[in-house]
Amino acid sequence: MSHAPSPAPAVTAHTLPSYLQADNLGPWGIYLQQVDRVTPYLGHLSRWVETLKRPKRALIVDVPIELDNGTVAHFEGYRVQHNTSRGPGKGGVRFHQDVTLSEVMALSAWMSVKNAAVNVPYGGAKGGIRVDPKKLSMGELERMTRRYTSEIGIIIGPTKDIPAPDVNTNEQVMAWMMDTYSMNSGSTATGVVTGKPVDLGGSLGRREATGRGVFTVGVEAANHIGLEIKGARIAVQGFGNVGGIAGKLFAEAGARVVAVQDHGGTIVREAGLDVPALLAHVRETGSVAGFPGAEKVADDTFWGVPCDILIPAALEGQITAANAGRIQARMVIEGANGPTTPEADDILHERNVLVLPDVIANAGGVTVSYFEWVQDFSSFFWSEDEINARLVRIMKEAFGAVWNVAQDNKVSLRTATFIVACKRILHAREMRGLYP
């Protein structure tokens, strides 16, 4: 007796596997919504839009290390290459207890958009390990970094995918990654990561680059809306490499940093905080908590603090429907990746608060990463003035182009940045064609 084969389930080219579908609350779901918003503006390139909804490649690795107490711990690590149509993958690596595959997928996709927005010749990638690095000793951190680098070594490389620092990773972590990759491949490959120490093929100005970019686009946008930087009140969430530097540059330009929040708490000072002293305090104690001369307030009051410019420079999902209505600022500059949920974006838009989106506002870091990579390839290093001048030129030009697209199409700066970037990515995709 023969059985007629049961009909195969219908498969359409557009059915996304479950792990790629929107988890509306999570970063990947937010990213997919952003792609949907841009699709009507892509013209004939919308034929390729599905490309943006699927990472090209996602690697999950087990990272076992021996702890100092002799036991073996396993961490889960990821490297996702979202798109490589315009060049090798590029994007940071974060160590954080909340890292998930879907978060890294979204962060890798935002790198594709960011790199295309400032027109550096990269695709987008991101990596991470789910770990609280504050609980590791220096030796454990080094062993974990090296094992992770070895595991993702099959897909990274100076012409394939170039990691960099992100949340809780720094120059030392990049030095270990560079060394591990180099030892495994048999020759010193400085161009495999960026954000390295200056003595090891790093670039002058890289550490400050993201904050400098935040400041640069902030000043440009302020000019457009007639907001005077001198005397402007600034509130900053996250006072590390991004928020700390941006705060310093705004203060040097005559603004007042009136509120700062980080993982240790929230401090305010209406007359303006002494930013260099606060940076030194954070370097010594690890957080803004206990800074002399500032008033400590409840964390939730941060969002309603009277200010002109708000700079979220910590993690995703901070500005939500629950606090967007209380924000006093005229302008939000996204130093972090993905700090504003789509509902909050809409609330801010209705309330006439200008949002400078992550994909352009924090692109200064990867822009100087690009300079670092170019310097490593040519073994010829530039002066800091040259680097800063080139950074400012790229940021201003990219922001100006996005501003015009937003005006012409009457869309938000986020959608405008997506229009510029996605057109570049999908044009490259179309020109390259499908192969094999």
Cβ of residue 158: shortest distance to ligand GLU, in angstroms? 13
Contact 389, 395 (CB under 8 A): no
Largest pairwise CA distance in the chain? 88
Give me the catalytic one of 114, 126, 196, 248. Answer: 126
Range 24-29, long-range pairs (CB < 8 A, 24+ positions):
26/100, 26/102, 26/103, 26/106, 27/102, 27/103, 27/105, 27/106, 27/107, 27/316, 27/317, 27/338, 28/102, 28/103, 28/105, 28/106, 28/109
Cα–Cα distance list, 223 to 133, 219, 227, 247, 415 (Å):
40, 6, 6, 18, 21
Residue among 12, 153, 114, 122 at smallest CA distance from 56: 122
Q: Is 65 or 314 the residue whose CB approaches ligand GLU more closely?
A: 314
Cβ of residue 314: shortest distance to ligand GLU, in angstroms? 13
126 included as an active-site residue: yes
Residues that bind ligand GLU (rule: CB under 6 A) add up to a total of: 11
Specify the stretch interacting with ligand GLU by CB under 6 A; choose among 48-56, 85-93, 272-280, 408-416.
85-93
Cβ of residue 9: shortest distance to ligand GLU, in angstroms? 39
Angle value at C-alpha 99, between 93 and 104, nearest 5 degrees: 60
Cβ of residue 87: shortest distance to ligand GLU, in angstroms? 12
Q: Give yes or no for residue 362 binding ligand GLU (CB under 6 A).
A: yes
The binder of ligand GLU chosen from 194, 266, 375, 415 (CB under 6 A): 194
Separation of alpha carbons 177 and 85, rounded Å: 25
Q: Is 164 or 402 the residue whose CB approaches ligand GLU more closely?
A: 164
Q: Is 266 or 417 the residue whose CB approaches ligand GLU more closely?
A: 417
Q: Is 92 or 202 the residue whose CB approaches ligand GLU more closely?
A: 92
Q: Give yes or no for residue 166 binding ligand GLU (CB under 6 A).
A: yes
Angle value at C-alpha 164, between 158 and 168, nearest 5 degrees: 155
Cβ of residue 236: shortest distance to ligand GLU, in angstroms? 17
Specify the stretch interacting with ligand GLU by CB under 6 A; choose among 6-14, 84-92, 183-191, 324-332.
84-92
Range 417-420, long-range pairs (CB < 8 A, 24+ positions):
417/113, 417/117, 417/357, 417/359, 417/360, 418/34, 418/35, 418/37, 418/38, 418/113, 418/359, 419/38, 419/41, 419/42, 420/116, 420/117
Q: Give yes or no for residue 51 binding ligand GLU (CB under 6 A).
A: no
> What are the percentages of helix, strand and coil residues in the chain, rounded to 5?
50, 15, 35
Q: Is 38 or 162 the residue whose CB approaches ligand GLU more closely?
A: 162
Residue whose beta carbon is closest to ligand GLU: 92
Q: Tokens 């940071």 identify what position?
A: 92
First to last CA, the chain: 42
Q: Give yes or no for residue 203 binding ligand GLU (CB under 6 A).
A: no
The binder of ligand GLU chosen from 82, 90, 212, 424 (CB under 6 A): 90
The binder of ligand GLU chosen from 337, 341, 388, 415 (CB under 6 A): 337
Q: Is 213 or 247 the residue whose CB approaches ligand GLU more closely?
A: 213
Cβ of residue 436: shortest distance to ligand GLU, in angstroms? 29
Q: What is the DSSP string of 104-157?
A: HHHHHHHHHHHHHHTT-S--EEEEEEES-GGGS-HHHHHHHHHHHHHHHTTT-B
Q: What is the DSSP string of 183-219?
A: HHHTS--GGG-SS--GGGT--TTHHHHHHHHHHHHHH
The binder of ligand GLU chosen from 91, 133, 244, 312 (CB under 6 A): 91
Q: Is 195 or 294 the residue whose CB approaches ligand GLU more closely?
A: 195
Q: Give yes or no for residue 190 binding ligand GLU (CB under 6 A).
A: no
The binder of ligand GLU chosen from 365, 382, 394, 405 (CB under 6 A): 365
Specify the stretch interacting with ligand GLU by CB under 6 A; choose among 87-95, 197-205, 260-268, 306-314.
87-95
Q: Give yes or no for residue 369 binding ligand GLU (CB under 6 A).
A: yes
Q: Give yes or no for residue 164 binding ligand GLU (CB under 6 A).
A: yes
Q: Give yes or no for residue 99 binding ligand GLU (CB under 6 A).
A: no
Q: Is 49 or 104 the residue whose CB approaches ligand GLU more closely?
A: 104
Q: Which amino acid is at 291?
A: F
Q: Which residues are catalytic?
A: 126
Q: Which residues bind ligand GLU (CB under 6 A)?
A: 90-92, 164, 166, 194, 337, 362, 365-366, 369
